[in-house]
């Protein structure tokens, strides 16, 4: 396995995030002070009660149902009762919902304290824990309540992935494929040509993939922490994906896979420059990693959620489409055209 460390500096705040990949435990021990660190741990992790002895811990029931106002208040009161102060650091250990929730608590408690993340799923290691976004869900849509606050460190240990069920591991591959589609033809080729060792978690291949994704995301985040410009391209597949994830209870990776497939079809329909062969290539790659490429539900329940998307503006929604593999483009689609275009795109996907 490759060992790497990055230090990323925010463009608008004097904060930096250290990201450690596959380093020994004693390095982590130096990052967390025993008397001033509280771990928030996914209670479904194997041997979770044995992790981080001699530290204070709270256990979380991970999943989107964690990210509510009610749970925010419950855990905020628990943490305050543990006599925390502004020198305390919270460390979230788990998948993306755990790091989202921990980051949000850290941003609001005592008007902001340090947080660190130990992502334990592929999806969290390559995407969800990176970039400083955190938050909870509203009754209307995902992630409408939150902040953007850089974590003090992110500790990425791919050994955690060995305990992931294969279906959950492959769920994270949707975000890896996203980076290939929008940024990296070489990564696309690697995913196509080395699918078997990647699916089987070959250590060297997996660390190369994780490292590549970290570098792609953090390069963009450094330049656009508040998502005013180029960071928007990281939402490829997420506009439709988040809506169907909310309505039909898809996993995140499943929803984003369908969202990317739809975005590729929209790109072809709107004449962005992408070819039919490239759209098929994306579809084939998603299928190779056992991700869904068809949508067999009605759209009537999707519209209300879609129009609460964070990327909507007064009279349109900004969709991230493709001019070609590795060439994203932001297309603003007026509200009155979205329903017709998406219905046609779904038909094309399902043929």
As annotated, the active-site residues are 111, 133, 175, 217, 227, 231, 235, 238, 242, 252
Q: Could you tell me which residues are beta bridge partners of residue 332? A: 318
Closest CA relative to residue 96, chosen from 53, 136, 128: 128
CA separation for the pair 330, 83 (Å, rounded): 47
> Which of left, alpha, beta for 273 (phi over 0: left; psi -120 to 50: alpha)?
left
Rg (CA), the chain: 20
H/E element, 94 = strand 89-94
Question: Tokens at residue 121, please?
Answer: 């799923």
Question: Tokens at residue 174, please?
Answer: 């949707």
3-state secondary structure of 208: helix
133-136 and 145-148 strand pairing: antiparallel
CA separation for the pair 140, 305 (Å, rounded): 6
Question: Tokens at residue 292, please?
Answer: 């869904």
293 with 287: CB under 8 angstroms? yes
CA separation for the pair 183, 202 (Å, rounded): 23
Q: What is the dihedral of CA 313, 317, 323, 328, to 10 degrees?
A: 60
CA separation for the pair 102, 306 (Å, rounded): 26
3-state secondary structure of 59: strand
What DSSP string runs through 331-344?
EEEEHHHHHHHHHH
CA separation for the pair 108, 76 (Å, rounded): 9
CA separation for the pair 59, 279 (Å, rounded): 43
CA separation for the pair 79, 74 (Å, rounded): 9
């Amino acid at each position: 396995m490759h060992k790497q460390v990055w230090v990323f500096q925010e463009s608008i705040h004097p904060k930096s995030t250290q990201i450690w990949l596959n380093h020994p435990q004693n390095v982590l021990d130096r990052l967390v002070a025993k008397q001033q660190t509280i771990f928030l741990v996914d209670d479904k992790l194997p041997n979770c009660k044995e992790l981080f002895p001699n530290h204070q811990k709270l256990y979380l029931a991970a999943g989107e149902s964690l990210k509510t106002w009610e749970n925010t208040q419950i855990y905020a009161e628990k943490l305050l009762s543990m006599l925390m102060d502004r020198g305390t650091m919270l460390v979230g250990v788990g998948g993306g919902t755990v790091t989202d929730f921990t980051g949000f608590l850290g941003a609001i408690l005592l008007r902001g304290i340090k947080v660190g993340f130990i992502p334990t799923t592929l999806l969290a290691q390559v995407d969800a824990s990176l970039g400083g976004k955190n938050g909870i869900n509203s009754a209307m849509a995902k992630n409408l309540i939150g902040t953007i606050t850089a974590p003090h460190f992110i500790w990425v240990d791919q050994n955690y992935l060995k305990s992931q069920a294969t279906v959950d591991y492959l769920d994270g591959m949707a975000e890896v494929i996203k980076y290939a589609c929008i940024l990296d033809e070489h990564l696309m080729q690697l995913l196509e040509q080395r699918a078997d060792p990647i699916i089987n978690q070959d250590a060297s291949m997996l660390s190369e993939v994780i490292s590549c994704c970290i570098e792609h995301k953090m390069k963009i985040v450094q330049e656009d922490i508040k998502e005013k410009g180029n960071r928007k391209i990281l939402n490829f597949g997420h506009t439709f994906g988040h809506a169907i994830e909310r309505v039909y209870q898809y996993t995140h990776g499943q929803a984003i896979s369908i969202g990317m497939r739809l975005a590729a079809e929209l790109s072809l329909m709107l004449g962005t420059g992408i070819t039919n062969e490239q759209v098929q290539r994306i579809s084939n790659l998603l299928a190779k990693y056992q991700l869904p490429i068809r949508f067999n539900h009605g759209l009537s329940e999707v519209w209300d959620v879609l129009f609460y998307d964070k990327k909507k503006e007064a009279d349109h929604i900004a969709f991230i489409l493709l001019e070609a593999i590795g060439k994203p483009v932001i297309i603003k689609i007026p509200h009155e055209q979205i329903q017709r275009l998406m219905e046609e795109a779904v038909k094309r996907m399902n043929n």
